[in-house]
Structure 1
Amino acid sequence: MSARRAVTGVAGLVAAAALVVVASGPATASPATEQVPWRWWDGAAHQLTNGLADPPGINRDDCRPSPRHPVPVILVHGTGLNGGNSWATYGAALAAEGYCVWAPTVGAPPGLGSTGGFDSLTGASAPQLAAEIDRVRALTGAHEVDLVGHSQGAIIASYVTATTRAHAVRTVVTLGVDPARSGEGPPEFVTEFLEVISPGTARRDAEATLAWLGDEGVPFARGVRYVAVVSDYDELTGPVTAPVVPDFVDLRVVRLQDGCEADRSGHLTVLASPRAVDLVTDALGGTAAEAGDARPPRCVPADQLLGVLAPVPPR
């Protein structure tokens, strides 16, 4: 991601960070529920009012995949956020569909508690996500997992998949990134935040980003499905078009506004867009896809900064 785009998104990221709960120690998962919160800040509000517990639906180590949804889902948060305050909407929605869902916090430097995404890609975020993939597979007995990443979390998910865990990942769904630029790695303002990363570590991260592209020059792994959900109103990426990729790359770019210009979700508000939730669920093989049901994704008016502006009907 270019420095210009990084600076453009700083205001939104700072706004998100204001809702981050900084705490040490694990959070306790709540039972799954069909009640889906439709505000992008609901995860942070839940943590603040529930003793730092995760929102319903995520991080339930007692969950076992069903024959209907045999692939566990791991949600990967963006810069300055954590697993619990990012994924209240998606966690509840996917759990209601019958998925087993985990949302770890990765890249939290010492002293910042549950504020993730500010540490080294190679020294923290990537190995932590790889370890979570291994843990969830061992816990559930699943051969593969699906990854859904937002912003820097999408970059981390794609990086780990391409470099170390292609055999263990079935699908990577991204939100808030331009897939043509994913191989550039996290922006500089992230890797230099609070000087938590030494010059040597920053150099290794940069070198790893180049290696991520591999011999074929693309940040995509063979045999893995990629779905990029993009919005014309994303403050960091702007409008995105599908990149030209080699034939072996299984990549589909889905524009949020196709068929629903009323959904103007931005970089953070896409975390609670009903339409984005439906597109992600379908990408993972949700109810509509399995049943051959032609129900379209919901189209609910959403503001770029505030998010959902109307009641959300069931799909």
Structure 2
Amino acid sequence: MVALVVVTPSLPGPTARPAAAVPAVPTDSVSSAAPAVDGAPADGVPWRWWDGAVHQLTHGLADPPGLNRDDCRPTAARPTPVILVHGTGLNGGNSWATLGAALAAEGYCVWAPTVGALPGLGAAGGLDSLTGASAPQLAAEIDRVRALTGAAEIDLVGHSQGAIVASYVAATARADSVRTVVTLGADTARSGEGPPEFVTDLLGVLSAGTAERDAQATLAWLGDEGVPFARGVRYVAVSSDYDELTGPVLAPQVPDFVDLRVVRLQDGCEVDRSGHLTVLASPRAVDLVIDALGGSLRSGRGGPVHRAGLDAPAPRCVPADQLVGALAPVPPR
């Protein structure tokens, strides 16, 4: 699973939703969710990273509960819609069963589009150009969700390549429409550097024009101020020391106007050894994302992780294996 941008000729167009088969995965340890109430499981969240794929395979490719409900309207308690952005080769439905259900149960309106899919591969996103496909499709989805809900801003949560796409769009195209960017499975210190060398080499063989355009887009991402972060947008990066692609991540040196916090998943919970995919279903990562969106997880450098005076319970700490995920029953928070 590549963490960044992959390509072939760019095919901009409207945001796609999955319409084909998803990868086969083991089903023996899938958690079952209770009947949906308003799109969210009534008394449970699936806690395996592959539960979204299993749901699509067993429910006629339908999205897991809580995702892509165009009839959802934000409330005074949860006024900001959330858009989840998947990684390379994945899609909105098979990536976000856990976080989608958890956020919906918290009262959020949640969308999870599939972006960057190639023709005929609608269920496998993130395989086209960053600048020619994934970014404009995500920008269009931001506009659509804002028009649909009347919300002034949205929050983005991105995983792996989706973290790069979300950060790129927030910095270059929709800074005035994005309140928060939360990332999983990405190294914020490398934001703005463009694809790694092996991806650039591959692009040069497959599509030299696309490779050159995506590389040049890095300059636009850094902007006049030389950083890949937008003024006025909050950034929270959740990282795991056991991520197979990023490894341990440190907070980069950024100007004072950048509102960024890098949160180590193992701080206070060394038994959570979630990896690049299993972080999608880590109870601790879920709680950190919810806290970041709700404002109880402070961005910015220094100071306590949780703001004093806000009644946010501590994030759960459940033993998790790097490849399998949660190794014990997940208690309510």
Matched, 1:313 2:331: yes
Alignment of 1:205-220 (within 5 A): 205-220=214-229
Q: Secondary structure at the match of 2:260?
A: strand
Look up the equivalent residue of 1:295 and give its one-letter code: P
For 1:193 and 1:88, the matched residues in 2 are separated by 32
Look up the equivalent residue of 1:86 and give its one-letter code: S
Which consecutive residues of structure 1, in runs of 5 or more, have no partner in the other structure? 7-16, 21-29
For 1:182 and 1:209, the matched residues in 2 are separated by 9
For 1:80 and 1:194, the matched residues in 2 are separated by 16
Alignment of 1:160-309 (within 5 A): 160-187=169-196, 198-285=207-294, 292-309=310-327
Q: TM-score, normalised by structure 2?
A: 0.83
Look up the equivalent residue of 1:296 and give its one-letter code: A
Using the aligned pairs only, state the percent identity. Answer: 81
Q: Secondary structure at the match of 2:134?
A: helix
Which consecutive residues of structure 2, in runs of 5 or more, have no partner in the other structure? 5-21, 26-37, 298-305
Does the aligned pair in 1 maintain the 2:49–2:98 contact within 8 Å? yes
For 2:66 and 2:196, the matched residues in 1 are separated by 31
For 2:124 and 2:171, the matched residues in 1 are separated by 25
CA RMSD of aligned residues (A): 2.3
Match of 2:40? Answer: 32
1:262-309 CA distance string (max 9 Å, x none): 000000000000000000000000799898224100000000011010
Q: Secondary structure at the match of 1:74?
A: strand
Change in Cα spacing, 1:84 to 1:195, as seen in structure 2 (3 Å) is: farther
Distance apart, 1:114 and its partner CA: 1.5
Change in Cα spacing, 1:49 to 1:145, as seen in structure 2 (3 Å) is: same
Does the aligned pair in 2 maintain the 1:180–1:242 contact within 8 Å? yes
For 1:54 and 1:80, the matched residues in 2 are separated by 17
For 1:281 and 1:184, the matched residues in 2 are separated by 28
For 2:109 and 2:205, the matched residues in 1 are separated by 34
Change in Cα spacing, 1:193 to 1:106, as seen in structure 2 (3 Å) is: farther
Distance apart, 1:185 and its partner CA: 3.0
Q: What is the aligned counterpart of 1:90 among 99, 110, 126?
A: 99
Which sits farther off after the overlay, 171-180 or 187-196? 187-196
Match of 1:24? Answer: none
For 2:95 and 2:193, the matched residues in 1 are separated by 23
Look up the equivalent residue of 1:54 and give its one-letter code: D
Q: Secondary structure at the match of 2:180?
A: strand
Does the aligned pair in 2 maintain the 1:126–1:156 contact within 8 Å? yes
Change in Cα spacing, 1:306 to 1:250, as seen in structure 2 (3 Å) is: same
